Structure 1
Amino acid sequence: MATAHAYTDAGNPHWTPVQDEGALMAIPGEEGIPFFGVTLRQLKDPYKFGFEMYKKHGPIYRINSFGRTQVGMLGAEANELVLFDRAKIFSSEQGWGPVLNLLFPRGLMLMDFDHHRADRKALSIAFKPGPMRHYAEKLNEGIMERVNKWSGQDLRFYPEIKKLTLDLAATSFLGIPWGPEADKINKAFVDMVQASIGVVRRPLPFTKMGRGVAGRDYLVDYFAPEVQKRREQQGPDMFSQFCRATHDNGELLSTDEVVDHMNFLMMAAHDTITSSATSLLLLLAQHPDWQERLREECMSVGVPGQPLSHDDLAKLELTEYAFKEALRLIPPVPSTPRRALKDFEFAGQHVPAGTPVGISAGFTHLMEEYWPDPYKFDPMRFTPDKVRERHKFAWVPFGGGAHMCLGLHFAYMQIKILMHHILTQNRIVVEDGYDPKWQAWPIPQPKDGLKVRFEKL
């Protein structure tokens, strides 16, 4: 699949072409400037662009973006239609494929319907209570060591947490120690993620895509010979769990399947956690009252400098509310692409089969009809009574429906352990009025790396 045209419609003849160009062009929208369309406006400020389109066209509009005509759909109703997908209208494979097929072919997010359900069920073995307890142990070890080095320091948090998250993936996901081998694996993942938004889509020398495809080749060469070894060793790490995963008929996943799933889930886990941990830390530094409330909660549940028990994670309710609010304000995956396999209707518009469509968690998370005073940091929006009052698809940082993030409980666990060790030993401080600008693509991150001070308590 990793060929020069793997991301194109021509390279995937099973993808659904637009069935009715006239119907597609009848949807109100904008063509933008020649060649680029509205791509540059989207990249510059996707949320501002979304609000402009919503004000001008309502919850559905047509645009020429990233080299193709697409339809944007905004709001909780759009999220529910696309993510819950009762009628099996929307293809995730054909939505994400043009972006990720060269790098993460056959990853779980790039699968549809029965194939997706079967592989998701097989992989769920890695997220059962036993393995999760093992991951918690490894996360505690790695995070405690790193927080000790951060204490009392001025640092740029984003690159620090990115390196830590990659290192933690090596220990809990792969079961290998930190060191040169883990560093090579980490570099390959970084190159692959950067390639996902490379302007040049072919793997030419000296391009992001060229480096990304080379990174994938390195990881395939690393993972494939390991599969049989891991099946025999019965290790507790996630890679070993995948190697032993079976389909309903009892057959093991093939080596290629294990490698592709491992590649994708490593990417999906480390970059999203890096982004969301950074946004939460910044928000707590900007709101010291909430930082103190979380510190008190963490102190009441665990001992500073000691591992946080897996059994105590559920007690960190305020910490979970704060994490959810950070995910609302700065979702790590702000938009989700799909392709329509059938004609459908939305908000009074007819959309033909074959149309690339996209929904936006980032936009929905800031809509006043669901979130009063939407730019305010208020973790109490996520108390059970408030959640019951809202549309179920008004908050979708982990997706929804059949494609709900498989690792969401791992994400909660990692963030809670991280916040426990940081907050029980340090006060997080930023300069008065500090509000860094964020890069929106491919995953949100502060452009200056997030300048913070860890004041040891």
Structure 2
Amino acid sequence: MALAHSFKANPHWLPRQAKGVLDTIPGENGLPFVGNTLRLLKDPVAFGRRMAKTYGPVYRNNTFGGPNIVLIGPEANELVLFDRDKIFSSEQGWGPMLNLLFPRGLMLMDFDHHRADRKVLSVAFKPEPMRHYAEQMNAGIARQVSGWGGRPIRFYDAIKALTLDLAADSFFGMPLGPEADRINQAFVDEVQASIDPIRRPLPGTKMRRGVKARTYLIALFEREIPKRRAGEGQDFFSQFCRAVDDEGRPLSDAAIADHMNFLMMAAHDTITSSATSLVMLLGRNPEWQERIRAEILALGRDDVAGIPHSQLDRLVLTEQAFKEALRLIPPVPSLPRRALKPFSFGGYDIPAGTNVGINVGYTHRMPEHWPDPDTFDPLRFAPEAVRARHKYAWVPFGGGAHMCLGLHFATMQIKLLMAHLLGRYRIELDAGSGDQWQAWPIPKPRDGLPLRFVPLD
């Protein structure tokens, strides 16, 4: 199996910055070779708080192979994500972490190229396909959660298996069968490789396992493309294969395989994280669990059919609770970009070529925007509270042109899952369950979140 031997920047990327060009901005370089990477990975929340307290809302850092500038707060989020002047490259921001694993995914595209592919892919997220996915997910969730009652389970493991099955139905259009475990492990290997301090696929490294996993998954997708182009399937994959751009041209096989590789990973890993955090928070806040259960049961209970797609908009408190879980534990804690042009922010002039990051997790807990920020309170997302708050104080799905394409799909899946779980069970966490989380690359509880689903009387 041929493997790339090192990270390679695309030829249109800006060259590396000269050493020391950012030294006028306050911050620290960290340890030799690894910088602050290990400190960041150990406890990103504490690390971000210390850096912000020490250096302010603009600081210099050194992680994942090079210096970068971190910008904190809603105004920083708006500048970088809305990107009115097309200053920031998502491709060159994510590239050093993902270019060997998810090249040509939507996050690694900019401007016109990104807009064109996003428009083609968006056909799979229109209302009629979404209704189809809801029917499939209701059935798939009902099959799985019916067996979760009355016994101890590790929720993270259970929901990860379920979300992979749901992604296979909605995205791939077929059960994964005997390859399911290998496919799941391949996605795990890709994600873990993204934060490997060793950025080359050397033997024995996470990066090598990740690159091998990508090779396997791309071959799996490419085998299926010809028959999907000729078929009439309603899954994401089949729709991507048949979709055409404004000039009637289909996506290339390579582009389809790369988009599928990225979207299937995102569709089950990020939703797994978000579902786990929400279940944990509801287990810790039984009064909110009861309020949301009452909202769900008011729509009627059908343990097989679940909540019809047409009724999901009525689950207002459920959606607010989901948003609050995303605030407290965002599945993507920070968002990297690279400045293509010089810009100024917070009193500093920042040159072109600078790697720039926004700290989503830190901004989500700034007390000036989120009073009593560590408290779980879904009413923060009541309409009047949202109107009074800076639009970019809450950005778990990103923003601007790169706003997550699947945000409505994720919200729909979480609502359906909560309807099936809270319509049947009461969540009871084990003592200490979920007290320690691994934040990178996608948050998950170190103990797997042990709990019981107690059947309702």
User: Which residues in structure 2 correspond to 1:255-274 (within 5 Å)?
Assistant: 255-274=253-272
Contact persistence 2:339–2:355 (CA under 8 A): yes
1:20 and 1:353 in contact (8 A); partners too: no
Aligned match for 1:113, one of 111, 114, 122: 111
Q: Deviations over 1:123-178 (max 9, x none)?
A: 00000111111111111111101111101121110011111111111111111125
What's the secondary structure of 1:226's corresponding residue?
helix
Q: Determine the structure 2 residue equivalent to 1:388.
A: 387
SS state at 1:350 partner: strand
CA distance in 2 between counterparts of 1:365 and 1:310 reads: 30
Would you say 1:4 and 2:2 are equivalent positions? no
Bigger shift: 369-378 or 171-180? 171-180
Question: In 2 relative to 1, CA 347–385 (structure 1 residues): closer, same or farther, beyond 3 Å?
Answer: same
2:51 alignment partner, one of 50, 53, 56: 53
Question: 1:240 pairs with 229, 235, 238, which one?
Answer: 238
**Residue 185 of structure 1 aligns with which residue?**
183
**Deviation for aligned residue 1:297:** 0.6
Give runs of aligned pairs for residues 375-454 of structure 1, distance below 5 A: 375-431=374-430, 434-454=433-453
Moved more, 205-214 or 265-274: 205-214
TM-score, with normalisation over the residues of structure 2? 0.96
Do 2:106 and 2:259's aligned partners in 1 also have CA atoms closer than 8 Å? yes
DSSP 3-state at the match of 2:408: helix
TM-aligned CA deviation for residue 13 of structure 1: 3.2
Structure 1 residue 67: deviation in Å? 2.1
Letter matched to residue 391 of structure 2: K
The amino acid that maps onto 2:53 is K
Deviation at 1:433, TM superposition (A): 5.9
- The alpha carbon displacement at 1:198 in A equals 2.1
Contact 1:331 1:397 in 2 (8 A): yes
Q: Mean Cα displacement is larger for which, 422-431 or 327-336?
A: 422-431
The whole-number CA distance in structure 2 between the counterparts of 1:316 and 1:233 is 35
Q: What corresponds to 1:366 in structure 2?
A: 365
Secondary structure of the equivalent of 1:182?
helix
Q: Deviations over 1:172-210 (max 9, x none)?
A: 111112521333322322221122122332223332222
**Structure 2: any 5+ residue segments left out of the alignment?**
none
1:218 corresponds to 2:219 = no
- 2:79 corresponds to which of 66, 81, 89: 81
> Structure 2 CA distance, aligned partners of 1:251 and 1:67?
39
Give the Cα–Cα distance (whole angstroms) in 2 for the partners of residues 171 and 435 of structure 1: 29
Code of the aligned partner of 1:167? D
Q: Aligned partners of 2:169, 2:434: CA distance in 1, in Å?
A: 34
Q: Which secondary structure state, in structure 2, belongs to the residue aligned with residue 204 of structure 1?
A: coil
Match of 2:167 among 141, 164, 169: 169
Alignment partner of 2:298: what SS? Answer: helix
User: Which stretch of structure 1 is more off in the superposition, 31-40 or 67-76?
Assistant: 31-40
Tell me the residue number matched to 1:95. Answer: 93
Higher mean C-alpha displacement, 62-71 vs 359-368: 62-71
Paired AA for residue 426 in structure 2? R
Cα offset for 1:18? 4.7
Output aligned runs, 1:240-319, within 5 Å: 240-307=238-305, 308-319=307-318
2:147 — aligned with what? 149
2:441 and 2:432 map into 1 onto residues whose CA distance is 27
Q: Is the 8 A contact 1:304 1:425 kept in 2?
A: no
Amino acid at match of 2:189: D
Q: Say what the alpha-carbon RMSD is for the aligned residues.
A: 1.5
- C-alpha change, 1:125 and 1:153, in structure 2 (3 Å) is same
Q: In 2, distance between residues paired with 1:254 and 1:366?
A: 42
Is structure 2 residue 324 aligned with structure 1 residue 325?
A: yes
Paired residue secondary structure (1:337): strand
Q: For 1:70, what is the secondary structure of its paired residue?
A: strand
> 1:434 offset after TM fit, Å?
4.6
Specify the code of the residue in structure 2 equivalent to 1:363.
Y
Whole-angstrom distance in 1 between the partners of 2:30 and 2:251: 46
Deviation at 1:22, TM superposition (A): 5.2
| CA drift at 1:2 | 6.5
The amino acid across from 2:311 in the alignment is D
2:22: which partner in 1?
24
1:385, distance to aligned residue in structure 2 (A) = 0.6
Describe the shift of the 1:205–1:40 C-alpha distance in structure 2 as closer, same or farther (beyond 3 A).
Answer: closer
User: Over residues 310-342 of structure 1, what are the superposed CA-to-partner deviations in whole Å (9 max), with x where a residue is unaligned?
Assistant: 101101000000000000000000000111000
Match of 1:197, SS state, is coil
8 Å contact from structure 1 (residues 337, 356) kept in 2: yes
The one-letter code sitting in structure 2 at the alignment partner of 1:116 is H
Structure 2 counterpart of 1:312, one-letter code: Q
Task: Give the share of equivalent positions with the same residue, in percent.
Answer: 64
The 10-residue stretch of structure 1 (362-371 or 30-39) with the greater mean CA deviation from structure 2: 30-39
SS in 2 for 1:252: coil
CA displacement at 1:3 relative to structure 2? 2.2
Q: Contact 2:37–2:197 at 8 Å: present in 1 too?
A: no
Partner deviation per Cα, 1:88-118 (whole Å, 9 max, x = no partner): 0000000000101111000011100000000
Deviations 1:398-419 (CA, angstroms, capped at 9, x unpaired): 0000000000000001000000
Residues 1:159 and 2:157 aligned together: yes
The answer on 1:127 being equivalent to 2:128 is no
Give the Å deviation of 1:431: 3.6
